[in-house]
């Protein structure tokens, strides 16, 4: 990973204690590295040990303080906030897969809703916390006819994942309104970028298939419209928002959409990736199996541009090219490591006669 180059304010971040929940996730890994680059003292809340996560593979894990526990454990959160004197909180921890939410709604609701109120209640009891950035989602808006979504649109999720994000967003708003917690809410499009090893997701799954010479699988009918947002742009947006919360009180309490403001269908994105990789010979395997997905979603990010002076650095093509390069290196290293293990096994076998 490299420094994101946006929102650099060493006076703000230097030696600042920052808690990142969900630090092992796609955005969490990039955000954690960006905070370290800026001199922050990062505490990462980790539930499961994920040896394949970018946080571990890149060596970032050795540069942060680790707190073990679940985001629903308010006592753990209070201890972490107090013992490390945390000033800024990025709440990213969530169950993020729509299919998982459909199969197991209870764990999704527990993680996404209870996890949010537990975190906010712990922050309410902490005298040190000055900025809280809560990760909501474009899914919190639910299906609507009036698009693109702006921040004043009603939150009306209907299916388990969408409802969990609508509820968590509203819980955050209630803590701001009732207890005046210093928080902001982010609503981003579908995040993509290097480090996402959930192959059921469209971007990493399509890239892996293309690198292996296989047809990429599309679970839906390919017509769903989405707003795809590159992870480095997302990390820089979060950092900029926290900085502005520290300097502009009028920003506190607001929700912001972050997006490239593009309308791209699943099938169009798949074909774009194949074209960028020179694999137009691979036709997508369209299965039409997905259920409970919103057909059209895309965001209006004019408020972030106007209020924060924010702009994405990467176009869809440039973000995808950087992502493709990351996975190409990842799979090449995997091949090399496999070869090294095989040679090592042969050497041991030969020595044993």
Query: Which residue among 161, 192, 230, 298 is the active-site one?
Result: 161
The bridge status of strand 264-265 relative to strand 225-226 is antiparallel
In contact, 55 and 24? CB cutoff 8 Å: yes
Exposure b/e, 163-200, CB count within 10 A at least 16 = b: bbbbbbbbbbbebbeeeebbbbbbbbbbbbbbbbbeee
List Cβ neighbours of 352 (8 Å cut-off, separation of 6 or more).
none
> Looking at the chain, how many residues does it have?
353
How many other C-beta atoms are found inside a 10 Å radius of the C-beta of residue 334? 10
In contact, 282 and 215? CB cutoff 8 Å: yes
| Known active-site residue 161 | yes
First-last CA distance in the chain: 44
As a whole number of angstroms, the distance between CA 132 and CA 120 comes to 9
Q: Where in the sequence numbering do the catalytic residues fall? A: 161
């Amino acid at each position: 990973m490299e420094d994101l180059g946006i929102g650099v304010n060493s006076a703000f971040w230097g030696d600042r204690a920052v808690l990142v929940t969900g630090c092992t996730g796609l955005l969490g890994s990039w955000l954690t590295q960006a905070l370290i680059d800026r001199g922050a003292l990062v505490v990462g809340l980790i539930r499961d040990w994920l040896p394949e996560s970018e946080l571990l593979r890149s060596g970032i894990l050795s540069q942060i303080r680790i707190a073990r526990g679940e985001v629903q454990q308010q006592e753990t959160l209070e201890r972490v906030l107090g013992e490390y004197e945390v000033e800024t909180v990025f709440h990213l921890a969530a169950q993020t897969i729509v299919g998982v939410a459909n199969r197991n709604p209870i764990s999704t609701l527990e993680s996404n809703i209870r996890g949010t109120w537990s975190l906010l209640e712990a922050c309410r009891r902490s005298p040190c916390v000055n900025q809280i950035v809560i990760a909501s989602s474009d899914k919190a808006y639910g299906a609507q006819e009036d698009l693109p979504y702006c921040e004043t649109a009603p939150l009306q999720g209907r299916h388990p994942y969408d409802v969990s994000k609508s509820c968590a967003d509203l819980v955050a708003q209630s803590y701001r309104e009732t207890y005046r917690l210093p928080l902001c809410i982010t609503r981003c499009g579908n995040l993509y970028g290097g480090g996402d090893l959930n192959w059921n997701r469209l971007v990493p799954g399509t890239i892996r298939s293309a690198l292996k010479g296989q047809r990429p699988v599309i679970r839906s009918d390919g017509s769903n419209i989405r707003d795809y947002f590159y992870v480095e742009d997302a990390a820089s947006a979060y950092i900029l928002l926290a900085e502005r919360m520290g300097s502009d009180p009028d920003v506190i309490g607001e929700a912001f959409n972050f997006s490239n403001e593009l309308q791209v269908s699943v099938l169009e994105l798949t074909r774009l990736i194949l074209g960028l990789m020179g694999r137009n010979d691979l036709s997508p395997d369209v299965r039409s199996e997905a259920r409970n997905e919103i057909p059209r979603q895309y965001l209006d990010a004019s408020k972030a541009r106007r209020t924060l002076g924010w702009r994405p650095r990467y176009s869809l093509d440039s973000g995808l090219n950087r992502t493709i390069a990351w996975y190409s290196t990842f799979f090449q290293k995997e091949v090399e490591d496999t070869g090294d293990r095989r040679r090592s096994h042969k050497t041991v076998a030969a020595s044993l006669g």
